[in-house]
Structure 1
Amino acid sequence: MLTSTIALAEAVGGWLTNSLALLSDAGHMLTDVSAMALSLVALWFAGKPADVKKTYGYYRMEILSALLNGVLLMGITGFILYEAWERVRSPAQVDVGPMAIVASVGLLANLGALGFLHRSHSMNVRGAFLHVLGDTLSSVGVLVGAGIMAYTGWYVVDPIISVVISLVIVIGAVRLVRDAVDVLMEAVPAHVDLAQIKELMLRAEGVTAVHDLHVWTISSGVYALSAHLVVQDPMVCNNDAILSAVKHDLFDRFGIDHTTIQIESETYAHLGEVH
């Protein structure tokens, strides 16, 4: 709520003072607000049960929201960069006094949030701390720019600062869109090495081959795998022991807890008609 209020105040302040740097800083805070909102959306949807139509539940809503969020942020940044280019060519006067006041309020609020978050050692809180630290540095940049403009009258500093902040937003937005597209395309998760997974499966006693191996992401932190394990003789091998060993190793090493594994004989594997 605090970050949303500051972002709104900076957006209004940027509009009234004609400061593109303030608007960019508001956009940077918007990325943090969006990230927090997505976390809340993910928690809410994750609590909804699966049904006969949506057998995986509503986990992918988080990914769709992230994709939309990333595209919107890139659109906002594109507008800011265009305006910055126009102002570099023809610098516009900025009302430096109110601009500095709004940026100072944002800086003080961010410093207070940093002091509060710094007390915790939680990984999630650490992530929030880094987000707020980025907002704090952006506010400092805006204040430095206001000081330079107040003493020199170089109003071109305002669009230059907005470009720097916008580039930070673009990097985060591109990463967000890329990760969302990877999930929707069912790409192999970044932390997973298929060769290592295949090697892990082949170490199971009785397994002679692995094929049709697929690993994908359902949602953040939720991974799935399907594979066919070829065994020497299904009538002799302890299939339950093989499944138990492989599933536990997959979870312990890669965090994959949703697995569908088919065990088949060497004769069946060579038919190759149906997967």
Structure 2
Amino acid sequence: MSHQHAHHHFHHDDHSSEKIGWAFFLNFGFTIVEFIGGWLTNSTAIMADAVHDLGDTISIGSAWVLNKLGHKKANHQFTYGYKRLSLSGALINTLVLTIGSMWVLSEAIPRLLAPQMPQTEGMMVLAVLGIAVNGFAAYKLHGGHTLNEKVLNWHLLEDVLGWVAVMIVAIIMQFVAWPILDPLLSVAFTLFIMVNVIRHGAQTLKLFFQASPTSPAVEEVEQQLLNIPQVQEIHQLHIWSLDGEHHVVSAHVISHCSSLEDYNNLKKQVADALQPFGFANTTIEVELAEEECRDNVTSLV
């Protein structure tokens, strides 16, 4: 990497971190305002959105930290680097959103049976603030190149739409006494949150248990390697993911290599076969057909 390219890469990472930091402080500050505003306006819908924003704040905060840590080099303690730390942020987020969602439901469900009229003027003021703050944060992250920036931008746009819904409900209740709309909206928000929590929580747990990613599939990688003429058999094929984006593969390849030239040619073919998958790390051991594998661990292939 040239000095100029390295400087540009560093500047880009620094700019990305700065933008995520902006979004974090905006979201964190407004989440506090939301909880206070939800209590003052007696609105469970705003409380539900506050829980949603709290989850987003944790996501943005962990993304901000990881945006810095993710570029630290691997060392003797963290030999694969620090990318796997993102899973801890995902688990914390899952726990907070689950507890928060259960609390909102415990407040909202009784109000479906005995609706209480919220303070609609306050709801509209908070909705305007919510649209403005989340819209500005989304604008700050717009056009970002990193996956973190793109995912967080979609989260913030979701929040803008959520506040539009709060605004519409508040305006309706301003003219029509339908207090049940408030708990109905909060239950809808909360169910939306829970669906995402279950989906992301399941994915995170799979990563913790080192399940193979859905793409690339183990069978797909195996077939690509078996397509190499010199490869007779494959075993001890393992694929796992560091953080859901960066995958690792290891395998034992059985081949007849009668010379150093054959061996070097095989290595090149294996590298070419695996290149399209974009693995963060590959470890391939070449074994001769008559050689006994030293690893006795049960493997898939």
TM-score, normalised via structure 1 length = 0.88
In structure 2, the CA distance between the partners of 1:236 and 1:18, relative to structure 1 (3 Å rule), is same
Q: Counterpart amino acid of 1:262?
A: E
Task: Name the structure 2 match of 1:174.
Answer: 198
Task: Name the structure 1 match of 2:215.
Answer: 191
Equivalent of residue 154 in structure 2, options 130, 136, 140: 130
CA-CA distance at 1:33 after TM superposition: 2.1
In structure 2, the CA distance between the partners of 1:38 and 1:245, relative to structure 1 (3 Å rule), is farther
* 1:55 maps onto 2:55 in alignment: no
Q: In structure 2, the residue corresponding to 1:267 is in which secondary structure?
A: coil
Tell me, yes or no, if the aligned pair for 1:234 and 1:264 is still in contact at 8 Å. no
Alignment of 1:13-162 (within 5 A): 13-114=37-138, 120=143, 122=145, 124=147, 125-162=149-186
CA-CA distance at 1:268 after TM superposition: 1.9
Tell me, yes or no, if the aligned pair for 2:55 and 2:96 is still in contact at 8 Å. no
Equivalent of residue 262 in structure 2, options 238, 248, 257: 238
Tell me, yes or no, if the aligned pair for 1:50 and 1:56 is still in contact at 8 Å. yes
Aligned residue pairs, count:
272
In structure 2, the CA distance between the partners of 1:117 and 1:186, relative to structure 1 (3 Å rule), is closer
Tell me, yes or no, if the aligned pair for 2:59 and 2:89 is still in contact at 8 Å. no
Equivalent of residue 268 in structure 1, options 264, 276, 291: 291
- Relative to structure 2, which stretch is displaced further, 178-187 or 166-175? 166-175
CA-CA distance at 1:143 after TM superposition: 1.2
Percent of aligned pairs sharing the same letter: 28
In structure 2, the CA distance between the partners of 1:16 and 1:43, relative to structure 1 (3 Å rule), is same
TM-score, normalised via structure 2 length = 0.81
CA-CA distance at 1:6 after TM superposition: 2.2
Q: In structure 1, the residue corresponding to 2:287 is in which secondary structure?
A: strand
Tell me, yes or no, if the aligned pair for 1:189 and 1:215 is still in contact at 8 Å. yes
CA-CA distance at 1:19 after TM superposition: 0.7
List alignment gaps of at least 5 residues for structure 2.
1-24
- CA offset digits 1:24-44 (Å, max 9, x no partner): 112222232222222222223
Alignment of 1:201-240 (within 5 A): 201-235=225-259, 238-240=262-264
Following TM superposition, where does structure 1 have runs of at least 4 consecutive aligned residues deviating by more than 3 angstroms? Answer: 47-54, 110-118, 121-129, 233-237, 271-275
Q: Counterpart amino acid of 1:9?
A: V
Aligned-residue CA RMSD (Å): 2.3
In structure 2, the CA distance between the partners of 1:181 and 1:114, relative to structure 1 (3 Å rule), is closer
CA-CA distance at 1:273 after TM superposition: 6.6
